[in-house]
Each structure stands twice: as C-alpha cells, then as structure tokens.
Amino acid sequence: MLDYRELALLWLKTSQAKGGYTEYWKFGEFQPWAAGNEEAGLLYHLATTVNGTVLLATQQWRLLAGWGGLLGISLLDRKQGSKPFKPPRARNFFEHWNALCKLFAEVVAVQQAVDLISEGYFDGHDVLFADTKAELSSSFETAKLLVLSYNCFAAENGKELIDIETVANRLGRRVEQRRNEWVMLSRSQVLAASGQLFEARDEVLAFIAIEDAAENDPAK
C-alpha cells in the first residue's frame, strides 16, 4: 500500500500525463489523501501553488515580448540614415540596463527556485506541468532576447553591457526567498484547511519577519 508521500507523487505524475495545468482543473477531482496527512497536503499545495504562481508570472512577463520584438526588428532592418530605435518609456540607457537586469534575474530566479522545489520535495521529479514549463522556458528566451538586443545597442553607444552569467550567478538570496515563499504559502494552506487558523497566520508572520530581517541585514 502506498504511503501519503507516494500518493502525492503518483497524483502529480498522473495529472501531468493527462495534460497541462490549465487543463487539470477541468478533470481534477478532490484528493482526500491531501487532507489526511500534513506532508501529503504540503506536496499537493506546493504543486498547485508553484504551477499557479509561475503561470501568472509568465503572463506578466509576456507583456515585454513586444518590446523584444521591436528591438529585434530594429537590429535586422536598420536603413542607412534612419533614426536610431529608442525603446519606449525609458529616458536613458541606465533605465534599460536596470529594468532588463531585474527582468532576467527574476525569470532565472524562478527557474532555479522551481528546481529546488523539484529536488527537495518531489525526489527530483519536475513539479511543473507541461504548459507551465513551456511558458517559463518561453519567458526565459524572451528575457534573454531582450538582454542580447540591449547589449547590441549598448555596445554601439559605448554603454555598459549586461553580463548574463554574472546576473544568473548572483541570485542565491532571491531564489531562496522565492522557494521559501512557496513553501510558506503551501504550509499555511495545509494548516488553514485543518482548522489551525492561528498556526497558518503564524507561518505567514514568521516568513515576513525572516524576510524583513534579511532585507535589513547590513552584511547582505
């Protein structure tokens, strides 16, 4: 007989095999085992929380795809004597540099946090459904295109380039924060579902306190 953890992993793999996360809710049924054990409930809510928040984030990042397309077109079709392309809503190169660094860092941080969740809670099995994974990969390619396009303009104008590897390798704190947030949200849902409302509240407050302390730590 399967234990609760094995039931959770079986549910995830079976659900992923049936289709994407957006399709899951069309055939998804109540999973009584998720309410029968704290660890099982945590895994269930982790899977739904991670997939849901990643999909939401990718929709927000998609708004920048148009900007990336304009940058790419301007690079491929620059006529002699034409005015240089200027991305909208930014007054100088530093604003582009700062905005794109933040975008690329956020996308990569989410990717790395997903990997930590998969390794730490699902025995290495990818927690993402196929559609969520595809959206995240697409967001990464879009963010990378934006950075590379910006670097072409920056190089032509003698401005600072964005070092992709440097940005990706300095995300330890951000990745940890994202992972801990997902775990906190999932654990608080488990507690609330079992009627432990004060304990669920304490999970949230403890997370906020830890994050505030980390933000105010002069050593970081």
In this prediction the pTM is 0.83
The alpha carbon dihedral of 70, 72, 73, 79 has a sign of positive
pLDDT per position in the chain (220 positions), as tens? 678 888 889 999 999 998 999 888 777 776 777 887 888 899 999 999 999 999 999 988 887 656 555 555 554 454 444 555 454 444 556 676 777 888 899 999 999 999 999 999 999 999 999 999 999 999 999 888 888 888 887 788 787 888 999 988 899 999 999 999 999 999 999 999 888 999 999 999 999 998 888 777 666 5
DSSP alpha helix (H) spans, 83-129: 93-121
Q: Where are the domains of the chain?
A: 54-75+89-170, 173-220
Burial bucket for residue 60 (CB in 10 Å: 0-12, 13-18, 19+) = exposed
Q: How far apart are CA 32 and CA 154, in angstroms?
A: 56
Burial 143-161 (b: 16+ CB within 10 A, else e): bebbbbbbbebbeeeeeee
Q: What is the structure's pLDDT at 76?
A: 45
Q: Please report the pLDDT score of residue 118 as a whole number.
A: 97
Contact 191, 200 (CB under 8 A): yes
